[in-house]
């Protein structure tokens, strides 16, 4: 069986994930969109002002540094205001473009991309269409594919988070779009068609993907299979050294959602919508096709919690790596493929008993308990010898810890500290 | 930290882990009571109560301190059935309050609490701790000599410390710990391998040596103590082989009839070094 080091077997949420994957995709019309001008710790400039008329696909904001691609409106309507402080899914309150939907659905398209478009033209289109990695990390796609010559292209449809099924439903319902996007990406990365692999954990999704005629790899169900380093390890049997990106090893990994967005982009549609699974502590999970920027409150309204009497927590994304939302006013980011409802629950930490569960679960072969100890004792000089920057923030260590220690949170904080120290 | 992911956790807690160790000890406890009757029952009850009280004094305040209970039971099971009660009470308090909590509490102690207490008791009161009782018979000089058949050794019809008589009963506890994934097989198996290797080199008969004394009990319940062994796999392997070899060396050439206790204490001191030397370096470039 194809496998990677470490990881955990998740049972919670698998049944709901299967149910969600079989669901049809419902469209949700948002009356108002909230597009933050602060994305991935970068400030964007608004390209519109209050009172402007916008269409679907109108450029709303762009990154002056050119690192992040522009943001486009997902509805036609009017810019109500540029709100100075609006809650953001990434945390905090940031300047946000607020757009009212007039319901007319006017769209402005980019010219379709020629069948024979060269790699540079495709990368340029990735930027224009606002593509970022849809799997969660949100790395700008045009940056990844710029001047890239790779040997392998892995399309990631694993969706390792419990409950979520956005990749699975996309694979089952939008296959032609995905295939078009995959071919464009292969051209951009100069990968031979024989070196394209579509990767999934689910047999049903694999069956759907096989109709594309491309090679499909079915992987073991194990978390975090959807992490790109673990995907490379499992599919190509190649373990990446710390700090080496897959592209540096000749492998380019993109999420199936990014491939579908690439397919849309080739036809002239900017990235304005995405599929979101709403699941968890709900009566029936849903897959929704929603405009990016739709407030989470609208998305949450599409499902009913299992019981009304119990307080629920709302998680943007899946339960392993998602962020807990303190308010549902924030707009949906491009990278968020799920809204998970979980019953209120608190974990109280007890002393570490050195059972070693975190060590065995870590996909990066770290010693999470030792890094946490270094964090708690303020011994920052130990971070680097303990390879803190190799942490994926996958959450396996915290998940398995019998003492319920917040290992992943502390290690992630230490990693952030190291990375900010470098810059 | 409250809002940080992951938002779901495995249900198993530290108390569950310690509970599993207690369950794994039940067959050994029942066997001890069966073989040594009221002597064992009295001492085990006393050790359980004392260690729980000691745990409440210096350790965990909410709920029963099952880790202390485990230490107390292991200490008691590694003592002979004629151990003076006052000595046992002192040992339990010393194990939990000094060896464990005096060195930072659960997960921080350098020595295995039960073995450190056992070692100290043996060093200070050697005569009180070397009178081993044969089940249902009078004390014999030592369990490690004599004419017990191999069958007797396996089923436990031999003299010895209360928990160390029956290999079969200990194996049930081992099976439970493995099924519940409290421990992995490496340490029990490799410590026996290390012991066997040295036994053969020393020219001693292997099977009687394996099944007598506290070796099997130690391999399952003592060498596997989370806190006092290395946490890395490579460190565990080195630790297990070394503790097995050292047990044999002490048993055949040491001043005491038994080797487990001092072998563990010596290796506890080396475990942090083994762990440090085997920290995974990651994939090489």
Nearest CB neighbour to A354, from listed B2, B13, B227: B227
| pLDDT score for B211 | 84
Which range is least confidently modeled, A15-19, A90-94, B14-18, B80-84? A15-19
pLDDT of residue B141: 37
The backbone region for B274, taken as left when phi is positive above 0, alpha when psi lies in -120 to 50, beta otherwise, is alpha
Q: Is the pLDDT of residue B142 over 60?
A: no
pLDDT for the residue A135 = 85
Name chain A contacts of B180, Cβ cutoff 8 Å: none
Does A279 contact chain B (CB < 8 Å)? no
CA distance to partner chain A, nearest, from residue B17 (Å) = 8
| Residue A185 CA from chain centroid, whole number | 18
Give, in order, the Cα–Cα distances in Å from B215 to each of A289, B4, B33: 64, 45, 20
- Tell me whether residues B280 and A412 touch, CB distance under 8 A: no
Chain A residues within 8 A of B70 when measuring between CB atoms: none
Q: Does A120 touch chain B (CB under 8 A)?
A: no
DSSP sequence for B215-278: HHHIIIIITT-STTS-SSHHHHHHHHHHHHHHHHHHHHHSSSS--HHHHHHHHHHHHHHHHHHT
The answer on pLDDT for A102 being more than 80 is yes
What pLDDT was estimated at residue B135? Answer: 54
Ranking A345-354, B9-18, B96-105 by mean pLDDT, the lowest is A345-354
For residue B156, give the nearest of B31, B53, B256 by alpha carbon: B31
Closest CA to B136 of B81, B216, B214: B81
Bridge partner list, A46 = A61
Query: Residue B139 pLDDT > 60, yes or no?
Result: no
Confidence band for B33, pLDDT divided at 50, 70 and 90: very high
Three-state SS for B133?
strand
Question: Binning pLDDT at 50, 70 and 90, where does residue B143 land?
Answer: very low
Question: Distance, in angstroms, between B162 CA and closest chain A CA?
Answer: 27
Backbone φ and ψ of A123, nearest 5°? -65, -40
Q: Is A388 on the interface with B (CB under 8 A)?
A: no
Indicate the residue of A322, A326, A367 with minimum beta-carbon distance to B7. A322
- Rounded to the nearest integer, the mean pLDDT of chain A is 92
Over pLDDT 70: what percentage of chain A? 99
Cβ(A162)–Cβ(A17) below 8 Å: yes
Output DSSP code: residue B103: G
Looking at chain A, which residue has its C-alpha nearest residue B16? A402
Residue B54 to chain A, least CA–CA distance (Å): 18
> Per-residue pLDDT averaged across A10-31, rounded?
86
Give the ranges where chain B is alpha helix by DSSP (H).
14-58, 66-77, 85-93, 113-124, 126-129, 150-155, 167-179, 186-201, 206-211, 215-217, 233-253, 260-277
pLDDT for B270 = 96
Residue B225's closest chain A neighbor by CA? A355
Is-cis flag, bond preceding A224, omega within 30? yes
Mean pLDDT of B118-144: 67
Residue ranges of domains in chain A: 14-23+111-266, 32-101, 281-343, 357-422
Among all residues of chain A, which has the CA nearest to that of B285? A241
The b-or-e profile of A6-15 (16+ CB within 10 A means b, else e) is bbbebebbee
Least trusted range by pLDDT, from A22-31, A70-79, A246-255, B169-178:
A22-31
Which residues on B lie below 8 Å from A395 (Cβ)? 5-6
Cβ(A420)–Cβ(A274) under 8 Å?
no
pLDDT of residue B2: 53
Eight-state DSSP code of residue B132: E
Q: Quick one: CA torsion of B243, B249, B250, B251, rounded to 10 degrees?
A: 110
Chain B nearest-CA distance from A135, in A, is 17
Using CA atoms, how far apart are residues B40 and A106, in angstroms rounded to an integer? 86
B226 touching A, CB under 8 A? yes
A378 touches chain B (CB under 8 A): no
CB of B159 within 8 A of CB of B266? no
Contacts of B23 (CB under 8 A, 6+ apart): B176
Distance CA A278, CA A322 (A): 13
Q: Which of B240, B133, B129 is CA-nearest to residue B188?
A: B240
| A350 inside 8 A of chain B by CB | yes
Strand partners, B7: none
Domains of chain B, by residue range, sit at 14-277
Task: Using a CB–CB cutoff of 8 Å, tell me whether B284 touches chain A.
Answer: yes
Pairwise CA distance, residues A97 & A86, whole Å: 9
* Helices B85-93, B66-77: crossing angle, 10 deg rounding: 140
Across the beta sheet with A93-101, the strand order is A32-36, A93-101, A77-87, A53-54
Quick one: pLDDT at residue B220?
96
* B3 contacts in chain A (CB < 8 Å): 323-324, 326
Contact A315 B7 (CB under 8 A): yes
Q: Which percentage of chain B shows pLDDT scores above 70? A: 88
Residues of chain B numbered 161-220 and touching chain A (CB < 8 Å): none
pLDDT at residue B190, rounded to an integer: 97
Q: Which residues of B touch A343 (CB under 8 A)?
A: none
Question: Is the pLDDT confidence value at B129 over 60?
Answer: yes
Q: Which residues of A touch B17 (CB under 8 A)?
A: 353, 355, 402
Optimal mutation site among B1, B2, B4, B5, interface A, most CBs of chain A within 10 A: B5
Contacts of B105 in chain A (CB under 8 A): 351
Distance CA B205, CA B150 (A): 11
The pLDDT confidence band at residue B136, using thresholds 50, 70 and 90, is very low
Q: Is B139 helix (H, G, I), strand (E, B) or coil?
A: strand
Query: Is B63 near chain A, with CB under 8 Å?
Result: no
Q: Which of B2, B22, B67, B281 is nearest to B176 (CA)?
A: B22
Q: Of A356, A391, A392, which to mutate for an interface test with B (greatest number of B Cβ within 10 Å)? A: A356
Q: How far is CA A172 from the centre of its chain?
A: 19
Fold that domain A32-101 belongs to in CATH:
OB fold (Dihydrolipoamide Acetyltransferase, E2P) (2.40.50)
Q: Single out the residue of A377, A370, A329, A350 nearest to residue A30, CA to CA.
A: A329
A388-413 pLDDT tens trace: 999 999 999 999 999 999 999 999 99
CA atoms of A60 and A49, how far apart (whole Å): 9
The predicted pLDDT at position B285 comes to: 58
Query: CB of A390 within 8 Å of any CB in chain B?
Result: yes
Least trusted range by pLDDT, from A229-243, A406-420, B118-132: B118-132
Which residue of B2, B5, B280 is in closest CB contact with A395?
B5
Q: Does B227 touch chain A (CB under 8 A)?
A: yes
Paired strand residues for A132:
A140
ipTM: 0.90
Going by pLDDT thresholds of 50, 70 and 90, the confidence category of residue B144 is very low
Rg (CA), chain B: 19
3-class secondary structure per residue, chain A? CCCCCCCECCCCCHHHHHHHHHCCEEECCCCEEEEECEECCEECEECCCCCCEECECCEEEECCCCCCCCEECCCCEEEEEEEEEEECCCCCEEEEEEEEECCCCCECCCCCCCCCCCHHHHHHHHHHCCCECCCCCCCEHHHHHCCCCCCEEEEECCCCCCCCCHHHHHHHHCHHHHHHHHHHHHHHCCCCHHHEEEEECCHHHHHHHHCCCCEEEECCCCECCCCHHHHHHHHHCCCCCCCCCHHHHCEEEEEHHHHHHHHHHHCCCCCCEEEEEEEECECCCEEEEEECCCEHHHHHCCCCECCCCCCEEEEEECCCCCEEECCCCCECCCCCCEEEEEECCCCCCCCCCCCCHHHHHCCCCCCHHHHHHHHHCCCHHHCCCCCHHHCCCCCHHHHHCCCCCCHHHHHHHHHHHHHHHHC
Q: Other C-beta atoms within 10 Å of B207: how many?
A: 12
Contact (CB<8Å) B231/A364: no
Q: What is the pLDDT of residue A1?
A: 53
Cis ω on the peptide bond leading into residue B6 (within 30° of 0)?
Answer: yes
Q: Whole-angstrom Cα distance, residue A256 to residue A398?
A: 28
- What is the C-alpha separation between B215 and B230, in angstroms, rounded? 20
For residue B138, what pLDDT band results from cuts at 50, 70 and 90?
Answer: very low
Q: What's the CATH superfamily of A14-23+111-266?
A: NADH-ubiquinone oxidoreductase 51kDa subunit (3.40.50.11540)
Tokens 């020219």 label which residue? B203
> What's the pLDDT at B208?
85
pLDDT score, position A136:
80
Q: Residue A253 to residues A1, A150, A156, B109, B260: CA-CA distances in angstroms?
A: 21, 10, 7, 46, 53
Check B282 against A404: CB less than 8 A apart: no
Cβ–Cβ contact A344 with B under 8 A: no
State the nearest Cα–Cα gap between B221 and chain A, in angstroms.
14
Lowest model confidence (mean pLDDT) among A148-152, A179-183, B11-15, B34-38 = B34-38
Is 70 exceeded by the pLDDT of residue B148?
Answer: no
Mutate to test the interface with A, among B1, B2, B7 (most CBs of A within 10 A): B7
Q: Nearest-CA distance from B118 to chain A in Å?
A: 22
B7/A400 CB distance under 8 A: no
Which of A194-198, A403-407, A413-417, B138-142 bottoms out in mean pLDDT, i.e. has the lowest? Answer: B138-142
Q: Is A51's pLDDT higher than 90?
A: yes
- B interface mutation test: which of A398, A415, A416 has the most B CBs within 10 A? A398
What is the per-residue pLDDT across A325-334, written as a single tens digit (0 to 9) for each?
989 999 999 9
Q: Does A319 touch chain B (CB under 8 A)?
A: yes
Q: Is the pLDDT of residue B105 over 50?
A: yes
Closest by Cβ to B9, choosing from A321, A390, A398: A398
Task: Give the number of beta-carbon pairs within 8 Å between A and B.
Answer: 110
User: Which of A12, A320, A369 is facing B5, going by the closest CB pair?
Assistant: A320
The reply to whether B6 touches chain A by the CB within 8 Å rule is yes
Q: Convert the pLDDT of each residue in A152-175 to its tens digit.
A: 999 999 987 889 999 999 999 999
Nearest CA in chain A to B4: A409
């Amino acid at each position: 069986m194809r496998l990677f080091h470490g990881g955990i077997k998740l049972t919670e949420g698998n049944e709901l994930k299967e149910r969600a994957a079989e669901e049809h995709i419902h469209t949700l019309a948002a009356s108002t969109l909230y597009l933050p001008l602060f994305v991935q710790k970068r400030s964007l400039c608004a390209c519109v002002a209050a009172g402007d008329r916008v269409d679907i696909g109108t450029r709303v904001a762009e990154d002056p540094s050119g690192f992040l691609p522009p943001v486009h409106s997902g509805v036609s309507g009017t810019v109500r205001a540029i709100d100075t402080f609006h809650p953001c899914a990434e945390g905090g309150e940031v300047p946000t473009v607020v757009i009212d939907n007039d319901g007319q659905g006017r769209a402005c398209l980019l010219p379709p991309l020629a069948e024979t478009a060269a790699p540079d033209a495709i990368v340029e289109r990735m930027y224009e269409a606002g593509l970022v990695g849809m799997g969660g990390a949100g790395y700008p796609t045009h940056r990844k594919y710029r001047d890239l010559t790779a040997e392998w292209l892995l399309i990631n449809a694993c969706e390792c988070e419990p409950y979520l099924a956005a990749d699975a439903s996309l694979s089952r319902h939008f296959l032609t779009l995905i295939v078009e996007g995959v071919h464009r990406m292969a051209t951009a990365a100069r990968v031979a068609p024989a070196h394209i692999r579509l990767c999934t954990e689910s047999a049903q999704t694999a069956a759907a993907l096989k109709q594309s005629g491309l090679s499909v790899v079915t992987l073991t169900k194990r978390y975090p299979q959807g992490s790109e380093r673990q995907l490379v390890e499992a599919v190509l049997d190649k373990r990446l050294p710390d700090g080496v990106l897959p592209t540096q090893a000749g492998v380019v990994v993109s999420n199936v959602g990014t491939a579908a967005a690439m397919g849309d982009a080739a036809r002239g549609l900017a990235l304005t919508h995405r599929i979101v699974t709403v699941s968890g502590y709900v009566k029936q999970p849903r897959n929704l096709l929603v405009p990016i920027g739709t407030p989470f409150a609208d998305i949450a309204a599409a499902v009913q919690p299992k019981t009304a009497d119990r307080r629920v927590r709302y998680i943007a994304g899946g339960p392993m790596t998602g962020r807990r939302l303190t308010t549902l006013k924030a707009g949906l980011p491009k990278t968020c493929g799920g809204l998970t409802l979980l019953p209120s629950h608190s974990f109280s930490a007890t002393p570490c008993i050195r059972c070693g569960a975190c060590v065995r679960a870590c996909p990066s072969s770290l010693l999470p308990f030792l890094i946490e100890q270094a964090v708690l004792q303020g011994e920052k000089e130990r971070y680097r010898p303990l390879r803190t920057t190799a942490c994926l923030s996958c959450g396996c260590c915290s998940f398995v810890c019998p003492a319920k220690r917040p290992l992943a949170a502390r290690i992630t904080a230490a990693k952030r500290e190291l990375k900010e120290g470098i810059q | 930290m409250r809002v940080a992911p992951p938002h779901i956790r495995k249900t198993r807690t530290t108390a569950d882990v310690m509970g599993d160790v207690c369950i794994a000890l039940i067959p050994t406890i029942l066997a001890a009571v069966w073989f040594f009757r009221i002597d064992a029952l009295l001492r085990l009850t006393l050790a359980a109560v004392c260690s729980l009280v000691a745990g409440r004094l210096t350790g965990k305040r909410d709920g029963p301190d099952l880790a202390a209970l485990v230490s107390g039971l292991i200490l008691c099971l590694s003592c002979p059935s004629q151990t003076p009660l006052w000595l046992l009470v002192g040992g339990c308090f010393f194990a939990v309050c000094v060896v464990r909590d005096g060195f930072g509490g659960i997960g921080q102690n350098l020595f295995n609490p039960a073995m450190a207490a056992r070692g100290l008791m043996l060093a200070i009161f050697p005569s009180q701790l070397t009178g081993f009782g044969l089940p249902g018979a009078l004390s014999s000089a030592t369990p490690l000599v004599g004419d017990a058949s191999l069958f007797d050794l396996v089923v436990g019809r031999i003299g010895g410390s209360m928990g160390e008589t029956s290999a079969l009963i200990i194996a049930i506890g081992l099976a439970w710990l493995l099924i519940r994934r409290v421990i992995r097989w490496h340490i029990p198996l490799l410590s026996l391998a290390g012991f066997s290797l040295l036994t053969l080199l020393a020219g001693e008969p292997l099977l009687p040596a394996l099944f007598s004394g506290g070796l099997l009990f130690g391999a399952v319940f003592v060498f596997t103590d989370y806190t006092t062994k290395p946490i890395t796999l490579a460190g565990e392997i080195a630790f297990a082989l070394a503790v097995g070899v050292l047990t044999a060396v002490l048993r055949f050439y040491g001043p005491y009839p038994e080797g487990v206790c001092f072998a563990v204490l010596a290796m506890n001191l080396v475990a942090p070094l083994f762990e440090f030397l085997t920290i995974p370096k990651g994939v090489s470039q």
